[in-house]
Structure 1
Amino acid sequence: MTSADMTQAESLPDNLDQLLSSNGIRLGAAQRRRLAWLAQRLGGTTIHQSGSVPAPDSHVVIVVEPPSGPAAEMLYRSLRANSAVVIPFGENPAFDFLKSKLTDFGTIGPSLDGPHEMWWGGLNWRAIVPDGGSRTSTPLRVVSCYPRACGHDQARRLRDKLAEFEIASDIAPIETVDGEHIRASERTAFMLRMWHEHREPLLFIEADATLSEPPRLPSCLDCDIALHRWNRWEMSARTLFLGRSPAAEALLQTWHHIASAYPQVWEGYLLDQAWSLTSSQVPLDTVWLPRSYHAPAEDLGTPRHTAVVHNLPVDSSDLGPDAEFGMAMRTARRASRSGGRDSMIVVKSETMASDVITVIMRDIATSDAREVAASIEAVTEAFAADCGGFGRLELSLCSWQDDVRTAKSAARSANNRIIEIAPWQTLPTDLFRTVGQSRNAGSVVVMAGHRG
């Protein structure tokens, strides 16, 4: 690194903090770290101004207001190959159209110090990691398992390639209830065992896959979890990276718990639910791996620099067994965010209580993005200041009445207290204390008020 590069890296935190604070943007520590990571790799950072195009030296563009269709098109056409777009209020569905025009790189869940989902994306992965991936000192261990009934040859090609690339691995047969089929609970039990036996980050690869080149990308990303989403919404566990972090371990444990409770449910859906639960409770740093890490063997469109080739038919029938499965979450997952039927953020209080309060924020689709963001911050700050005796806050964002009804039904089934608010309403500082004085589980407190 040159002296000029070192000076830029040293001044970067102060410059970013000034840029964020002057534009009223709150980021959690993990989100702030990812933004700095992008700025160090790509260069200048700027706030996108509506109706304008980024300056030539602006390679990291922060978008805080949802652009209209024409404005999104203009922004998209102005981006260069070495550009990235960061949306600090990524939980808002108003940004979905812009996201749909870009390649999803990753998302980082909310936390009390940054109660928003941060999304980042761009045009292609080559801007973030050059051809062949960056060399890294971070060790990585590939792990895999296969049914004992399938025999040793099930993983022969993968073993051979790992030996050729001199990559440490642990590939083992396991006992399975269904013969040659591995249940999600059996897969996650194996991965938990690998997590405790090894200290390196783990890259799980399906045993019947093979490698075309060393899979360097995941270990370059400094993330909690990295995986591929087929058709941008269907989470696949065939290639799954887990960094050595408490958040990654929490996701793995949650996935195993859900898979054990529902052994007959398709594992992609179970992984999706584990991701949603974990990312609402901790700032889970997720990276969406490119197609080159999940290429079907017969895919004529396989990229030149394919890393992981899976023994999959081109129609992806080995993924979702039901074409209608997960319909309710597809729109949200295509935009890398939680849906209205999920809790966007879960905040625990210091009170040793089992009572839970659900806050449903309605009319998200018809509200200003800054208004929604400010309301989310107001709710979490009020709960942190005075939890009203509740042990946990669950906040759901609902665009439509159908989402509101579903969120209420879920809260009632859990015997939660419920508050329904709109983004433009001013909340009292003792909101949760007041509601907590009436402990009628399942009842709804609707905040009064009209848009000014």
Structure 2
Amino acid sequence: MTDGTQTELDGLLRTAGIRLGEAQRHRLGWLVGRYGAPTVQIAHDGRRGGGVIILTEPPSGATAELFYHTLTPGCAVVIPLSENPGFDFLKSKLTEFGTVGPSAEGPHEMWWGGIGWSRFLAAADGCTVRPRVISYYPYGTDPVAIRALQHSLETFELDSHVEPIAAELGEEVLCFEKAEFIARMWSRYREPLLFVEAGAVLREAPLLPSSLGCDVALHKWNRWEMSAQTLYLGRTAGAEQLLQAWHHLAASHPTIWEGYLLDQAWSHASSHGPLDTVWLPRSYHALTGDLAANRAIIVHAQPTTTTELGPDPSFAGMVRAARRAGRTGARDAFMVMTSRAAADNGVAVILRDIEANEAGAVAATVEAVTGAFARDCGGFGRFELSLCGWQDDVSTAREAARLARYRVLEIAPGQKIAGDFFASAAAEATRCHLIP
């Protein structure tokens, strides 16, 4: 992207009142460089041949349908306030390419998507950054399946590391053993890593994640269930934080299945910094026998289905609503900030009624409360923000904050946030403790 294009993009963002963090701004500029000039658009205005379309207001159902039918594969849709549930319907109609998490400088989640992956897949062939493909197999595994993977790696001249490991349960590898293996590979090698399960076969060189330059890339089933059968980690701080969180959770909860723990690790990393995530297409996660397997890049022999999420089906049901259409839900803190205060106390702010208010009012309040904490933390060492649409969400967030022994503050969209908002809350908490 030229200097002139960068200046035009910065001017467009200022005019539209859009705040982006450095990582979000980088991803948006990357899209502009590949798709063309950006525009801020709300309603249907005719079929478009290409370009980046930035949406700042959630469209109604009818408007979303009209907008969807104006799009072509030459268009990229960017939603810089994608934490707002009003965008869910439109996002569910589009192919979800990725998200970039919030930060103090850009306190919103940025979502990007479009019509299919064909444009990216075609461009990935020219990528010069090649990942190291890693995998393992338990001792005693049938070597035929391993040879198929190794043969495909040799065919595409990919650097790789495939080794046998001693699994506690024989031929079944537990999540903490997988996370531990990937953590060892992270320490051993310097290039980006692409983990694939043993038994997989590569039909083409898997260069899409490295060509996109993201922190992490993985596949989601049913728009929310994360799979660890194909997992890309770029050589970034965000990828390392995700891996560390997953490794720690897996070691602490060895009986919980890997997809859920990876989901929780992703939530942790994304809320603590602007994690640039790509949601890989099905071609990177096809199964043997699928109709799509003939056009796949990675074909897995081991299926991942809702019946294999874990031993307790009701537990899986509890977490399904946590990430609807790529949006972080009330069960997870949307954003976490730490201060320089020498304290281990925390404050949880619950922003309620986001379903019933305009996106602009919700966004302004998010910016106001995160900005207030950045300027004056009030002596709190940690700040967590939860976005709640309904009273049940508020109750869930309150209970989570109570268990963490956080001070709980509840606010509404449009509420004025004073500069001493957190200092006043800390003083009030001190007064309450002094009252006999």
- In structure 1, the residue corresponding to 2:140 is in which secondary structure? helix
One-letter identity of the residue aligned with 1:82:
G
Please tell me whether the aligned partners of residues 48 and 70 of structure 2 are also in contact (alpha carbons under 8 angstroms): no
1:407 is aligned to 2:397: yes
Q: What are the ranges of 5 or more consecutive residues in structure 1 without an aligned counterpart?
A: 1-7, 444-452
- Say if 2:156 and 2:205, in contact at 8 Å, map to a contact too: yes
1:66 aligns with 2:55: no
Deviations 1:258-288 (A, max 9, x none): 0100000011000000000110001000000
Q: Does structure 2 conserve the Cα–Cα contact (< 8 Å) formed by 1:109 and 1:117?
A: yes
1:14 — aligned with what?
7
Q: In the alignment, which residue of structure 2 is the partner of 1:256?
A: 247
Q: Which residue, 12, 18, 23 being the options, matches 1:30?
A: 23
Distance 1:335 1:80 in 2: 21
Give yes or no for contact 1:93–1:365 (8 Å, CA) kept in 2. Answer: yes
Question: d(CA) in 2 for partners of 1:264 and 1:315?
Answer: 18
Calculate percent identity across the aligned residue pairs: 51
Secondary structure of the equivalent of 1:90? coil
| Structure 1 Cα separation of the partners of residues 49 and 221 of structure 2 | 34
- Length-normalised TM-score, structure 2: 0.95
Inter-partner Cα distance in structure 2 for 1:322 and 1:298? 28
Question: Which of these residues, 194, 203, 217, is aligned with residue 185 of structure 2?
Answer: 194
Normalization by structure 1: what TM-score?
0.92
State the partner residue of 1:446.
Answer: none
SS in 2 for 1:116: coil
Distance 1:348 1:202 in 2: 29
* 3-state DSSP of counterpart to 2:291: coil
Aligned to 1:42: 35
C-alpha displacement at 1:332, in angstroms? 4.5
The corresponding residue for 2:154 is 163
Query: Can you give the 5+ residue segments of structure 2 that lack an aligned partner in the other structure?
Result: none
Q: Measured at CA, do residues 311 and 322 of structure 1 come closer, stay the same or move farther in structure 2, by a change above 3 Å? A: farther
Letter in structure 1 aligned against 2:41: H
Please tell me the residue identity of whatever aligns with 1:416.
Y
Q: How does 1:325-336 map to 2 (within 5 A)?
A: 325-336=315-326
Normalized per residue, the structure richer in helix is 2
Answer yes or no: is the 8 Å Cα contact 1:54–1:61 preserved in 2. Answer: no
Residue 138 (structure 1) aligns with: 129
Q: How many residues align?
A: 433
- After TM superposition, give the deviation of residue 128 of structure 1 in Å: 2.9
Question: Structure 1: which amino acid aligns with 2:282?
Answer: R
1:307-345 deviation line (CA, Å, top 9, x unaligned): 000113486644566554433443452421211111000
Is 1:209 the counterpart of 2:200? The answer is yes
Q: Any residues of structure 2 matched to 1:282-321 within 5 Å, and which?
A: 282-302=273-293, 304-313=294-303, 317-319=307-309
Whether contact under 8 Å (1:416, 1:441) holds in the other structure is: no
What is the CA–CA distance in structure 1 between the aligned matches of 2:201 and 2:387, rounded to whole Å?
A: 41
RMSD, matched Cα = 1.9
Regions of 4+ moved over 2 Å: 52-58, 151-154, 312-334, 438-443
Q: 1:35 to 1:44 in 2, by over 3 A?
A: same
Residue 410 of structure 1: CA displacement?
A: 0.6
Alignment check: 8 A CA contact 1:357 1:419 kept:
yes
Residue 208 of structure 2 aligns to which amino acid in structure 1?
L
Q: Give 1:138 deviation, angstroms.
A: 1.3
- Return closer, same or farther for 1:442/1:293 CA change in 2, 3 Å cut-off: farther
Tell me how far apart the structure 2 counterparts of residues 10 and 170 of structure 1 sit (CA, whole Å). Answer: 41
